[in-house]
Structure 1
Amino acid sequence: MKGILYTGGELTDVVTFARLPVYLQTFLREQNGVVAYFGGLHLRGCVTTPAWHSLEVAWQGPTAFWRTYDEVLESDIPFAQDCVGNQFLLRGDAVLLLDTETGELADLEVDFKHFLFGVEKYPLDALGMEPLRGFQQQGGVLQPGQLLSVFPPLCIAINNGKVPELKAATVSERLAWLAGFYQKIKDLPDGQTIRLTGE
C-alpha cells in the first residue's frame, strides 16, 4: 500500500481479534490496521486506543453501524472505511460497501484478499478517491483520525452545479453527521426536495 499515514502498532484488543475470520487475523498480525493512500483507506485494527482506529468501537460500540443502519447486521464486520466515511463490511467472506449517506449496501463481489488486490491496482476507482484528490488540489491534507467532510452530501443532486465544500473532520464528527443525515432522509421518497442548512 502507498501513502501510509498511520499503522496500528501492537494488538491490544485480543477479545475482538479472537472473533475475526482467520484471513483477517493473519492480515492484522502483520499490520494492525493502517491509514493508507493519504487517507483514502483506513483499515481498522484490534486496539483499545485510539478509539477512531478501534475495530471493536466501530463493530460493537454505542455508535456501531448496525445500531444505526437498517441494512447492516450485527455480525457484519466494519473492517475499513474510505476517505468520506463509507464503510467496507465483511459478511461471511463477501466484502460489502455501506453508503453512509443513504444506508444502501452493495455487494462488491470480492472476498477480502481480492478487495485488497483491487485497491492496490486501482486505488482511485476502488476507493472513490475523487473528493480526496479535490481536497488535496486545494492544499488540504487529511491527518490520521480524520475523514473528509463533503457538503452538500454526495447523494444529493445539486441544481446549480455548485462544487461541494471539502474539509477535514474528526472520524467521530464525520460518522455522527452521516448517521444523523441518514436517519433524516432514509424514509423520504426518491426525488424528494429537501433543504440543507449546513453541516
Structure 2
Amino acid sequence: MKGIIYTGGELTDLVTLARLPVYLQTFLRAQNGMVAYFGGLHLRGCVAAPGWHSLAAVWQGERALWRTYAELKKSDIPFGQDCVGNQFLLRGDAVLFLDTETGELADLDVDFKHFLFGAEKFPLDALGMEPLRTFQQAGGVLQPGQLLSLYPPLCIATNRAAAPAAKAVPVARRLDWLADFYRQIKDLPDARP
C-alpha cells in the first residue's frame, strides 16, 4: 500500500487477535494495522493504545459500532474505515461497507484479500477518497488519528456544485458525530422524488 502515515507497531491485544479469522491474524502479525493513502484507509490493529487504532474498541467496547447501527451484528468485525469514517467490516468471509451517516450496509462482493487488492489497484474509487483528494488539493493534511468531517453530510442532497466543507477532526469525535447524526435520521421516511 502507498502513502502509509502510520503503522500499528507491536501486537498488545492478543485476546482480540485470537478471536479473528486466521487470515486476518496473519495480516495483523505481519503489520498490526496502518493508515494508508495519506488517510484514505485505516486498517485497525490489535492494540490497547492508541484508542483510535484499537479494533477491540469499535468491535466489543462501550462504543462498539453494533451498539449504534441496527444493521450490524455483534460478530461483524470492523477492521477498517475510510477517510470520513465509513466502515469496512467482515461478516464471515465477506467484506461489507457501512455508510455511517445513513446506517446502510452493502456487501462489496469481495473477501478480505480481494478488498485489499482492489484498494491497492483503484484506491480513489474503492475507498471513496474524493473528499480527501479535495481536502488535500486545498492544502489540508490528515494526521494519524484523524478523519474528515464533512458539512453538509454527504447524504443530504444540495443544489450546490461545490464539494462539502471538510476539516480534520479526531477519530472519536467524528465517529461520535456520525453515530448521533444516524440516530437522528434513522427513522425519517425516505425522500420522494
Q: Quickly name the TM-score band, shorter chain normalised.
A: over 0.9
Q: CA deviation at 1:61?
A: 1.0
CA distance in 1, matches of 2:107, 2:93: 11
What is the CA deviation profile of residues 77-130 of structure 1, one whole-angstrom value per residue up to 9, with x for unaligned ones?
Answer: 000000000000000000000000000000000000000000010000000000
CA distance in 1, matches of 2:161, 2:17: 46
Indicate the residue corresponding to 1:181 in structure 2: 181
Q: CA deviation at 1:162?
A: 4.6
**3-state SS of the aligned residue for 1:176?**
helix
Give the TM-score, by structure 1 length: 0.95
Indicate the residue corresponding to 1:122 in structure 2: 122
Indicate the residue corresponding to 1:135 in structure 2: 135
CA distance in 2, matches of 1:142, 1:161: 24
Change (3 A) 1:119 1:163: closer
Q: CA deviation at 1:164?
A: 1.0
CA distance in 1, matches of 2:64, 2:7: 22
Indicate the residue corresponding to 1:197 in structure 2: none
What is the CA deviation profile of residues 163-184 of structure 1, one whole-angstrom value per residue up to 9, with x for unaligned ones?
Answer: 3110000000000000000000
Q: CA deviation at 1:161?
A: 3.8
**3-state SS of the aligned residue for 2:175?**
helix
Identity, in percent, stands at: 77
CA distance in 1, matches of 2:105, 2:62: 21
Indicate the residue corresponding to 1:57 in structure 2: 57
What is the CA deviation profile of residues 139-165 of structure 1, one whole-angstrom value per residue up to 9, with x for unaligned ones?
Answer: 000000000000100011013445311
Match status 1:147 vs 2:147 = yes
TM-align CA RMSD = 0.9
**3-state SS of the aligned residue for 2:158?**
coil
Indicate the residue corresponding to 2:4 in structure 1: 4
CA distance in 1, matches of 2:178, 2:50: 21
Structure 2, unmatched stretches of 5+, are none
Letter aligned with residue 146 of structure 1: Q
Q: Where in structure 1 do 4 or more consecutive aligned residues deviate above 3 Å?
A: 160-163
Q: CA deviation at 1:65?
A: 0.6
Indicate the residue corresponding to 2:48 in structure 1: 48
Give the TM-score, by structure 2 length: 0.98
Q: Which moved more, 1:147-156 or 1:158-167?
A: 158-167
CA distance in 2, matches of 1:153, 1:125: 19
Indicate the residue corresponding to 1:19 in structure 2: 19
Indicate the residue corresponding to 1:195 in structure 2: none
CA distance in 2, matches of 1:94, 1:161: 35
Structure 1, unmatched stretches of 5+, are 193-199
Pairs within 5 Å for 1:21-170 = 21-170=21-170
What is the CA deviation profile of residues 4-40 of structure 1, one whole-angstrom value per residue up to 9, with x for unaligned ones?
Answer: 0000000000000000000000000000000000000
Indicate the residue corresponding to 1:196 in structure 2: none
